[in-house]
Structure 1
Amino acid sequence: MSLAGEERKRKILEELEINGKVKVSKLAEKLNVSTETIRKYLDELAQEEKLKKVYGGAINLSFFQEEPSTSEREVINSEAKKRIGELAASLIHDNDVIAIDDGSTPLQLAKSLQKKKNLTIFTPSITALSVLIDLLQKNIFTGRIIILGGEINTTHHRVTGGFTLQMLDNLFVDKYFISADGLTLGEGVTSYDSSKGIVTKKLIEHSDKSILLVDQSKIGKRTHYKIADFKDINMVISNEDYPKDWENLLIENDVEWLVAKEQIE
């Protein structure tokens, strides 16, 4: 498939992530292609198990209570996640002890640690571990990498379970960079997976500063397992500003909201 075709498929997945469903007619209009072309893209994405086709369009697989895989998450809103990761990395200082969550947005943070010195990095993410090892070997940053022990989730490339929690009992960090599947005014921070959520809760308790990294598709979306309330979070970094009716709650809980803006060339 051409580069333009792959870009259109990526935009279809982004629409699904934000709205939960898409219609052939509206996609054709938005992407300026024929409805037949859109149907072909939906067929291909369905074969790749990235969406479910329905009459007149498609729906997000999350409708079936499933968390997108690591590879799927990396496709969605990739440019926004890169900006969020870069802004988050700017908050890390030499000699910091940090924890980097699993997820596609924290992964962009891991890729943005240029010139940081003497870091100690804990992570439950196998994907982030691989990136960090490569950067450390290339002397992009200096320090130590410590993988959290536990059971490997092979679908989402992360470590969870009782052994992980035991390790966290005696572990404390300066900054914890958190991923989430949803963030709403009423329910706070949520995840698809309770086992991930339990590890996240523990790390929040053991960090001096908890920093949530979420692109706009997570804002206003609730998933299945509550990780934290707003009072548990010190900062949110997103590519969009918070909804206006959230302002009072953010002020009341002293939550700072940073926006990773798109650079204008």
Structure 2
Amino acid sequence: MFALERQKRILENLNANGAVWVSKLSAELGVTEETVRRDLEKLEKQEVLVRTHGGAVPITDSSYELSLEKRKQTNSAAKERLAKEAAEHLLPGDTIFLDSSTTTFYMAKEIKKIRNITVITNSLRIINELSGVESVKLITVGGLVSSNQSFVGSLAENTIKNNFFAGKVFFSSKGITPNAGILESNEQECFIKQQMLANANEKYYLCDSTKIGKVGFYKLAPLDGIDYFITDSNLSDEYVDKFVESGIEYINVGTNK
């Protein structure tokens, strides 16, 4: 069994039982306890669980809020550069989707400078940032409020699917690899982003260097499912060749291009 499959099984077990134990996982998965501990360590770094003595438990709402603050500070200078570059692709009169990522939250600050923009989002943080800004028409999708401070669930998904279309979507994710494509670790957020992508003409992926090569458990989109790749990273030839082949515009805002 590959590591990615093991880790997916661990998360399924965690969601079903509310906790997992190293010894039990070792027996169920047919691997050593040390292998299980390494899997749990990787999952903890991806902020989907918290390790305990002998096992792991889900991230609670309070611990996830701390995680959000940590994420807002992680590589924040790069995310601000990505946000400013993304805002350069906006025109007065545009209607856009913004997901609930921290990078699009920075982009919301830039949107305040542009007149006559319609923003459709599931992010409570973006709603709070743009609420009351006269130059922005703000539309929220509604739904279940998650610990990620966003609207998720079938109501939010169907609201986007059946009611809203946009000229552009700006989004981020957990990670990207040349073969697997664009990946997400949160199932509910993944479904929301997929609906936004399906109902948008131009697709902008905002990817800071910490996400390059990082793996999530849910496939959000294939590599050729975007139009613009905005990053602060010097990518390998494997990525660049695939972008050229798919007609994707690669934009590097890094200080050392």
Q: How does the TM-score come out when normalised to structure 1?
A: 0.71
Match among 118, 123, 148 for residue 156 of structure 1: 148
CA deviation string 1:117-139 (max 9, x = no partner): 111100111111111126x1xx5
Cα pair 1:83 1:262 within 8 Å, conserved: no
Paired position in structure 2 for 1:97: 95
Identical counterparts, % of pairs: 23
Q: 1:63 to 1:247 in 2, by over 3 A?
A: closer
C-alpha contact (below 8 Å) 1:73/1:103 kept by paired residues? no
1:241 and 1:259 in contact (8 A); partners too: yes
Matches within 5 A, 1:101-116: 101-116=99-114
| CA apart distance, 1:241 | 2.6
Match of 2:116 among 108, 118, 121: 118
| Residues 82-131 of structure 1: per-residue CA shift (max 9 Å, x gap) | 11101101111000000111111111111112431111100111111111
Instruction: Give, in whole Å, the separation in 2 of the partners of 1:183 and 1:63.
Output: 14
Report the alpha carbon displacement of residue 64 of structure 1 after superposing the two structures with TM: 6.6
Match of 2:237 among 235, 244, 252: 244
Are the counterparts in 2 of residues 123 and 146 from structure 1 also a CA contact under 8 Å?
Answer: yes
Amino acid at match of 1:166: N
Amino acid in structure 2 at the alignment position of 1:62: K
> How far apart, CA to CA, are the structure 2 residues paired with 1:100 and 1:165?
14
Q: Deviations over 1:170-193 (max 9, x none)?
A: 211011001101011011111111
User: In the alignment, which residue of structure 1 is the partner of 2:204?
Assistant: 211
Contact kept, 8 Å, 2:124 with 2:151, in 1: the verdict is yes
CA distance in 1 between counterparts of 2:250 and 2:181 reads: 14
Distance 2:222 2:110 in 1: 28
Query: Cα distance, 1:59 vs. partner?
Result: 7.5
Gaps of 5+ in 2: 1-36, 50-58
Contact map agreement 2:183 2:218 (CA 8 A) in 1: yes
Pairwise CA RMSD: 2.1
Q: 1-side partners of 2:47 and 2:107: how far apart?
A: 30
Partner of 1:127: 125
The answer (yes or no) to whether the contact 1:176–1:210 under 8 Å persists in 2 is yes
Q: Which runs of 4+ in 1 moved over 6 A?
A: none
TM-score (norm 2): 0.73
2:45 matched to 1:62? yes
Q: Assess if the C-alpha contact under 8 Å between 2:112 and 2:136 holds in 1.
A: no
The 8 Å contact of residues 126 and 157 in structure 1, kept in 2 or not, is answered as: yes
1:195 is matched with 188
Uncovered stretches (5+) of structure 1, i.e. residues with no partner: 1-53
Question: Take 1:87 and 1:160, find their aligned partners in 2: how far apart are those partners?
Answer: 27
* CA distance 1:182–1:78, change in 2 (3 Å): same
Partner of 2:172: 179
Select which of 164, 167, 170 maps to 2:159: 167
Q: Which residue of structure 2 lines up, in the alignment, with residue 87 of structure 1?
A: 85
Matches of 1:114 and 1:126, distance apart in 2: 16
CA offset at residue 70 of structure 1? 1.8
1:197–1:152 distance in 2 versus 1, CA, 3 Å? same
For the residues of structure 2 that align with 1:63 and 1:119, how far apart are their CA atoms? 34
1:30-54, Cα deviation, whole Å (9 max, x unpaired): xxxxxxxxxxxxxxxxxxxxxxxx9
Distance 2:46 2:119 in 1: 35
Alpha-carbon distance, 1:262 to partner: 3.3
